[in-house]
Structure 1
Amino acid sequence: MSRKKTEIDSESGPVTPRVPVDRFGFLKQEHGNSPERFSKARSTSSTDHDREERKVRKWRKMIGIGGSDWKHYVRRKPNVVKRRIRKGIPDCLRGLVWQLISGSRDLLLMNPGVYEQLVIYETSASELDIIRDISRTFPSHVFFQKRHGPGQRSLYNVLKAYSVYDRDVGYVQGMGFIAGLLLLYMSEEDAFWLLVALLKGAVHAPMEGLYHAGLPLVQQYLFQLESLVRELIPKLGEHFTEEMINPSMYASQWFITVFSYSFPFPLALRIWDVFLSEGVKIVFKVGLALLKYCQDELVKLPFEKLIHALKNFPEDAMNPDTLLPLAYSIKVSKRLEELKKDYEKTIGKPVQP
């Protein structure tokens, strides 16, 4: 994937890993975001290879050259598109499809030269904060490991550009993981406009409230999640109340980074496929599915062990093929709207996106 050279780019050779990496580029001895824990479940048989090839051909036909057929196909067969996205977008097409379903491709085409202007000619009050946090973003991925290497430079450029583009939001630490994830699948400029599409709400509700002072949208989401846990998993909800556990202790990062921080990478990608297509409700569904899947163990744990367990879910619970079907079966859309109104009543004003 080509990445445009911008302000702080300089000549640099490719990153040559000294240790083995998995198929996504994560160091194999690292487990936080590495998919190696699921390698046994992945077959490399010719049957699986043929199936994947057929899947890619279907997607290429659906997309058209450079995305030319996408909107027409979505209008004609929205249910087919939804089903295929939920099954997982082929990795080789993921970057393009993410841009198409998020609305970011349209933003890019409507704003030629804007990204370059923001990176090269503007200054940001957040530059030092961004530089400080760069090395903390996907530290086990070869693209971001090298100090001042191509990955860190690209990440700096995207975050700096956004902090200038939207000075009300500026830069908040969790944004680095979202920008970093996008950069693994697209160029700097494409990643920037997808970030804009998400925070400004090109297709779904704006995300910028996740990063405003006081994190107002995070507070709303945590209120909604706590209510849903009590309603849909009452035994666990009661145990949380007894142990004085609230969602801010374990779920804030779920929303701020959309599971891109600390979750196994294959699971994060599958969630992002659906998140970009269907919106934030998938974050609630996945969170509730995790809690539901693990509730028999969680209800036995006292406070300290409970906090640890809620940040370290077992491997079987984090398998996309196990977790996502359970998540899809949980219906939350209508209740989320009702709970949003309840939350706004409790704080006495509408939540600003």
Structure 2
Amino acid sequence: MYSALNTEPPVEPPPTTAWGVERGEMQDRIDTKRNVRSSRPRKPTKVKMQDVYSFNLEVSREEASIIHQVKERVKEQGRVWWAMEAKNGAGWYLQPEIFAQAEGYFVSSLSLVTMTSTLQLKKLIRSGIPPLLRPRVWSAVSGANKRRSSAPESYYSDLLAAVEGRETPATRQIDHDLGRTFPTHPWIDSADGRAALRRILVAYSFRDSRVGYCQGMNFVAAMLLLVMKKEEDAFWMLAVLVENVLFDDCYSENLYGCHVEQRVFKDLLRKKLPRLAVRLEEIEFDVSLVTTEWFLCLFAKSLPSETTMRVWDVLFNEGASILFIVALAIFKMREEELFAAKHVGEVMKILHDATHGAYDPDELLKVAFEKVGVMSLQSIVKQRKKEQPAVIAELERRGQLNPSDSVQSSSR
């Protein structure tokens, strides 16, 4: 009831919440928080999917779209290969003279017809080999078929029988690394996958005891298994890769060959990207912090699977120079970001994102071939020979190489 002297209704205190805060104020706080939350950038939605080689991925929608486009391009490239088979005959690329370059012959020494087919094959391979044909094409152009034919038919099974149950430092390291080899891949991480991978690695460690086993070979052998399907085929591809395609002693105990390759790459970086090379030296970034893994794993641990396979397509046909070209292309693609980096950690993150997000192999290889440019294997060999004395001296200083030890000289 209102007082006769006060015609205005009494002002009641505002309702409060159980925490003693006025309800209006609480609502203001809630609205403020909502506005703050809505103004914050939302994390991109992640999509779960599998790539061409059944690796489980969690990627952004943009990356998922790129992966789908790559899968479609793989199918289209398959149709190009089938058309060439229809024109030139099934397995035309399996003729030894077609891939004579893998044996060290010059194109100029080939007949016009053979030279044309060789150049066609080179162009096709650079554009990508269909996954279904990779086992046959790789075995042919790499020299694996020839190497395998020179051994007894039962060589691999006999080797497995001979080494069964035997233990060496190499087998112990292999067993340690198996569980860390692509743990997210459904087959590699299965009991059957690990057993097959172990047999290949153990067998090779006994085939070449001088090399034995080196960390990095597990990722290479695992990818070979996924491509070749058959365990014995993957074994022979690993053999020809280590013994013919790559520089000698890349996987030796002291990593002599890998040290040589790192010095060669640093020289190439100074020549191809001099401004960036100087900047990286200014912030004391040693490129071998990332490139050692790239070269030992042949990018298998860094690049997405189909991008890795596209690099390997060229690797088996044209040689190890592609590793340098692709590594330079990665630095080239992120040149401005890397130049602006202030410290080593920032550089590492830029390069990690550049490699792990390289889902479009065509983009990477276009930069490699068009902006970095092709370099001859002969020029790489020349630079290797130049770097070898310094590496030998450094290994001797560390006590990792005795002066009497012989280090193989390679023409590869």
The alignment's TM-score, normalised by the length of structure 2, stands at 0.72
Q: Which of residues 49, 57, 64 in structure 1 aligns to 2:90? A: 64
Structure 1 residues 69 and 270: CA distance shift in structure 2, 3 A: closer
Distance 1:166 1:63 in 2: 38
- Deviation string, structure 1 residues 50-88 (Cα, Å, up to 9, x no partner): 6632433425766735x7843244461211111111010
Verify: 1:53 aligned to 2:53, yes or no.
no
SS at match of 1:251: helix
Verify: 1:291 aligned to 2:338, yes or no.
no
Verify: 1:178 aligned to 2:185, yes or no.
no
Q: Which of residues 165, 183, 199 in structure 2 aligns to 1:139? A: 183
- Deviation string, structure 1 residues 116-149 (Cα, Å, up to 9, x no partner): 1111222341222212211211222111122xx2
RMSD: 2.7
Q: For residue 160 of structure 1, what is the amino acid of its counterpart?
A: V
Structure 1 residues 22 and 344: CA distance shift in structure 2, 3 A: closer
Distance 2:86 2:209 in 1: 38
Verify: 1:310 aligned to 2:361, yes or no.
no
Equivalences for residues 49-198 of structure 1 within 5 A: 52-59=78-85, 64=90, 69-74=94-99, 76=114, 77-111=117-151, 112-122=153-163, 123-125=166-168, 126-146=170-190, 149-186=191-228, 187-198=230-241
1:165 positional shift = 0.6
Identity %: 27
Distance 2:89 2:158 in 1: 31
Distance 2:76 2:214 in 1: 43
Distance 2:214 2:225 in 1: 17
- Deviation string, structure 1 residues 132-186 (Cα, Å, up to 9, x no partner): 211211222111122xx21111101000100111111111121011111110122
Kindly indicate whether structure 1 or structure 2 has the higher relative contact order, using CA contacts under 8 Å at least 6 residues apart. Answer: 1
Distance 1:250 1:130 in 2: 23
Q: For residue 181 of structure 1, what is the amino acid of its counterpart?
A: M
Structure 1 residues 195 and 40: CA distance shift in structure 2, 3 A: closer
> For structure 2, which runs of at least 5 residues remain unmatched after alignment?
1-47, 101-113, 394-405
- Deviation string, structure 1 residues 294-344 (Cα, Å, up to 9, x no partner): 101110002221122223217775521111022123133254234223213
Verify: 1:273 aligned to 2:273, yes or no.
no
Distance 1:347 1:39 in 2: 41
SS at match of 1:29: strand
Structure 1 residues 63 and 85: CA distance shift in structure 2, 3 A: farther
Query: Conserved in 1, the CA contact under 8 Å of 2:125 and 2:314?
Result: yes
1:28 positional shift = 3.3
SS at match of 1:299: helix
Distance 1:347 1:43 in 2: 43
Distance 1:63 1:280 in 2: 30
Verify: 1:324 aligned to 2:324, yes or no.
no
Query: Conserved in 1, the CA contact under 8 Å of 2:303 and 2:356?
Result: no
Distance 2:226 2:368 in 1: 26
- Deviation string, structure 1 residues 83-133 (Cα, Å, up to 9, x no partner): 111010111111111111111122223221111111122234122221221
SS at match of 1:213: coil
> For structure 1, which runs of at least 5 residues remain unmatched after alignment?
1-18
Structure 1 residues 63 and 277: CA distance shift in structure 2, 3 A: farther
Verify: 1:25 aligned to 2:54, yes or no.
yes
Query: Conserved in 1, the CA contact under 8 Å of 2:67 and 2:360?
Result: no
Structure 1 residues 69 and 307: CA distance shift in structure 2, 3 A: closer
SS at match of 2:133: helix
Q: For residue 342 of structure 1, what is the amino acid of its counterpart?
A: K
Q: Which has the larger radius of gyration?
A: 2
Distance 1:158 1:283 in 2: 24
Query: Conserved in 1, the CA contact under 8 Å of 2:55 and 2:184?
Result: yes
1:189 positional shift = 0.8
Structure 1 residues 221 and 59: CA distance shift in structure 2, 3 A: farther
**Aligned residues between the structures:** 324
Distance 2:89 2:248 in 1: 29
Query: Conserved in 2, the CA contact under 8 Å of 1:294 and 1:317?
Result: no
Q: For residue 53 of structure 2, what is the amino acid of its counterpart?
A: F
